Amino acid sequence: MLPFEEFSRFQCGDMTVLFLKKDKRLAFTVIPQGMESEIPEHLTDITMTTACRGICTANHTKTCSVTFDGMIQLHVRPDLLAGGYQVGETMTESETARNVEFVSQQQKGNCIETVFREKHGLRIVHSIRWVEGEDFLEINTEVENAGDAPLVLDQLASFQIGMLSPFAPDDGPDRYKVHRYGAYWSAEGRHIVDSVESLILERSWSAWISHALRFGQRSSLVVKRYFPTLGLEDTVAGVTWGVQLATITPWQLEINRVGDYLNMAGGLPDFEFAGWERVLKPGEKLSGPPAILSCARGDMDHVLNRITCWQKVAEEHPVEAEKDLPVIFNEYCTTWGRPTSERLLQLADKLKGHKIKYFVMDAGWVRSDGCKYPGIGDWEIAAERFPDFDAYIDAVYQKGFIPGIWFEFENFHKELSKLGVERKDLATTYHGQPCCVARPSMSLDFRKQEVRDLMTERVIHFLKKHRIGYIKVDYNYASPGVDTENGSTAEGMRQLLLEVREFYRKMLRELPELTLEVCASGGHRLTAGWLQLGNMASFSDAHEDISIPLVASGTAMQIDLSKNQVWAVLRKWDDDRRICYTLAAGFIGRLCISGDIDTIDEARMQRVYEATDFYEKVKPLIRSGESRLDQRLKGESWTHPRGAQIFRRTNDEAEMLVVHTFANADSKMEISLSPDMKLADTFGEPSVKLEQHGSVLTLTNLPDWCGLVILCKKVH
């Protein structure tokens, strides 16, 4: 029994949403369907505990261990924050939030809409949507200035879920785990698990003080340091809550606590965290990024599978070419930015007829070397490398491929492009100055119609004219902020990126069969919001590193597996074991081949053809299934990994195991298969021996640094 009045409940798929009421405020929580009876009576009076007894006796007071944390969290300046100890920790439960008043609630189909108001004139609409047959909730909060004067907002959370965990009768010592996912360049997706205690999130002795863990991203590289993913696991009840922000802009997540219960919240980055503020004029509306939330009996891997399904359900641009999840060839790690039509057509000749559909030309096709000006921003073809560009495109089609090309159209080179030399007025500004960070590139201001028109001509019309069927859109520029007239530079950057998204949408409307790969210094845009637009995403810039199986499996748990494009770069000096190691990693998502394809010997190339043939067999698993990660590592280093890893993908009919060993691996390994699965086929390291006894698969003779893909099928 929860210690607050139940206001309403709704069944949303296999989850029950509970709304709780105190005075004029509401809070909400979510539990797995059928677990209502497992919620115990909560012990709220801590007056006579050792810590509280003295002060309570002296003052003739009682102390309660629970607090009511509302579902609406926002702050309007100049309202007060909740208290001095809260400043610097969290902006939740401010004066604005505590004075929000409930107005109405109704269910409209598969949407619960709850309306609030507050004293400054804001109308607030909180929505929870779900899709029949899916296992996630999409949550957001929209505010409208219904008053007659501008308001300054410096906090707006898309969601806050509270009462975690309702299955504990107290503050839940040693039962909660917090899940986050770290990222930096070429090492995206590391799973970070901490106890609530180790994060210093225990309830204080008096339950008076708010404390929080707040994290996110302030720059335009939105997956940098962390993914916008957060989970809380109740290890005693066996229930996990998880959330991802479907964001394309800077973001914030936090887990906060005053009393026994924890809350998870997130959305736009607040003023304390990122200097965000927005002036909301009368009649204007504003919302944060959607929060994709799920809860279930099971661990965080299970909940992540439920959440990442949103990316496929909400996908805006399905294309015919993607229906059979084709293999990709990208020449970047072959020419390293120096492609020529002659070299690329030699590569195409070598690869044709081997189940590879996309043939992608990466960076280096633009004029710059030895030329005055034209470069990134001007987007002129380097004639010395491609003397007849259309003839090259025709030849790629004739050899059975869809031709692809690389662009980085959000930026321009300030010295090696005519645009950069003559039109710096088209750049964004930061505190009044054209913003240039880390390298001689500047950011185009897509809020300006002239910029949108110019890039329509140089990108969209270019793609149409040359009949390009695949675009890899890169982004290698981290902006700290953008000036705007109605808010801070953090708000300006949000506005800019929303306009960039609209340009993407325009491109895809005008080219309905264009396949889009999202890239940002590799994996720095691996969010549900960007993947809503893109058919695939580059998993990382870890082109040839030994850590690729670790990185690929990390990103595979954050995005839909069919969108997780993984490099498989092959070298002429690679031995057979290294070739298998590399190719096997490509099965942790979408296989993307690169490297010395035209100079590698025929025996090694035969391995490539075997891999593309085997990939056909596992495509149904890549398309749909549940992913799980079993890391049997002997240390924490990804740069110098030791031990082994199994990436598992299972659906109703089959199971794929992608096995990699690293340094100091055990020569024998046992893997428990899912029920009724039988070993069917393998690709990779030939020295490994496999035997199945019941539901246990035993691998022996495992060498270090090997890769193996195992396909099992259900016995009927």
> Under 8 Å CB-to-CB from 158, ≥6 apart: which residues?
139, 140, 141, 245, 266, 267, 268, 287, 288, 289, 290, 291
Query: What would the pLDDT profile of 134-166 be if each residue is shown by its tens digit?
Result: 999 999 999 999 999 999 999 999 999 999 999
> Which ranges of 159-285 would DSSP assign to H, the alpha helix?
271-274
Please tell me the predicted confidence (pLDDT) of residue 438. 53
CB proximity list for 485: less than 8 A, separation 6 or greater: none
Residue 1 is predicted with a pLDDT of: 77
Confidence of residue 619 (pLDDT cuts 50, 70, 90): very high
What pLDDT is recorded for position 87? 84
Q: Residue 671 belongs to what H/E stretch?
A: strand 669-672
C-alpha 408 chain-centroid distance: 20
Tally the residues of the chain. 716
518 within 8 A of 530, measured Cβ to Cβ: yes
The helix or strand, by DSSP H or E, that contains position 348, with its residue range, turns out to be helix 341-351
CA–CA separation, 256 and 188 (whole Å):
25
CB atoms within 10 A of CB 498: 13
Q: What is the pLDDT of residue 80?
A: 84
Q: What pLDDT score does 371 carry?
A: 60
The dihedral sign for the CA sequence 395, 400, 406, 410? positive
pLDDT of residue 437: 57
Residue 507 and residue 533: Cα distance in Å, rounded?
Answer: 11
pLDDT at 368 over 90: no
Take residue 531 and report the two structure tokens written for it. Answer: 């993947």
Question: What are the tens digits of pLDDT across the range 549-603?
Answer: 999 999 999 999 999 999 999 999 999 999 999 999 999 999 999 999 999 999 9
DSSP assignment string, 181-205: EEE-TT---EEEEEETTTTT-SPPT
pLDDT of residue 84: 63
- pLDDT number for residue 372: 60
Per DSSP, 42 falls in state: P
- Is the CA virtual torsion 78, 79, 85, 88 positive or negative? negative
Tokens of 468: 């390009």
What is the pLDDT at residue 416? 82
pLDDT of 654 strictly over 80: yes
> What is the Cα gyration radius of the chain?
27
Residue environment code for 371-402, b if the CB has 16+ CB neighbours within 10 A, otherwise e: eebbbbbbbbbbeebbeebeebbebbeebebb
Q: What is the mean pLDDT of residues 27-48?
A: 95
Q: What percent of the chain has pLDDT over 70?
A: 98
Q: Looking at residues 407-417, what average pLDDT do you find?
A: 89
Structure-token match 């035209």, residue found: 598
Cα 77 from chain centroid (whole Å): 32
pLDDT, average across residues 402-406:
98
Q: What is the pLDDT of residue 376?
A: 86
- pLDDT for 374 beyond 70: no
Provide the pLDDT for residue 313. Answer: 96
Rounded to an integer, what distance in angstroms lies between the CA atom of residue 160 and that of residue 100?
A: 14
pLDDT tens column, 83-130: 666 888 899 999 999 999 999 999 999 999 999 999 999 999 999 999
CA distance from start to end of the chain: 45
DSSP per position, 436-491:
B-SSSEEEB-TTSHHHHHHHIIIIIHHHHHTT--EEEE------S----TTB-HHH
How many whole angstroms separate alpha carbon 529 and alpha carbon 526?
Answer: 8
H-run or E-run covering 649? strand 643-650
168-210 pLDDT, tens per residue? 999 999 999 999 999 999 999 999 999 999 999 999 999 988 8
Helices assigned H by DSSP within 31-149: 50-59, 95-98
DSSP-based three-state secondary structure for 538: strand
Query: How high is the pLDDT of residue 436?
Result: 65
Q: In which region does residue 353 sit, left (phi positive, over 0), alpha (psi from -120 to 50) or beta (all else)?
A: left
The residue with tokens 């800077």 is 250
CB atoms within 10 A of CB 48: 11
Mean pLDDT (the chain) is 95
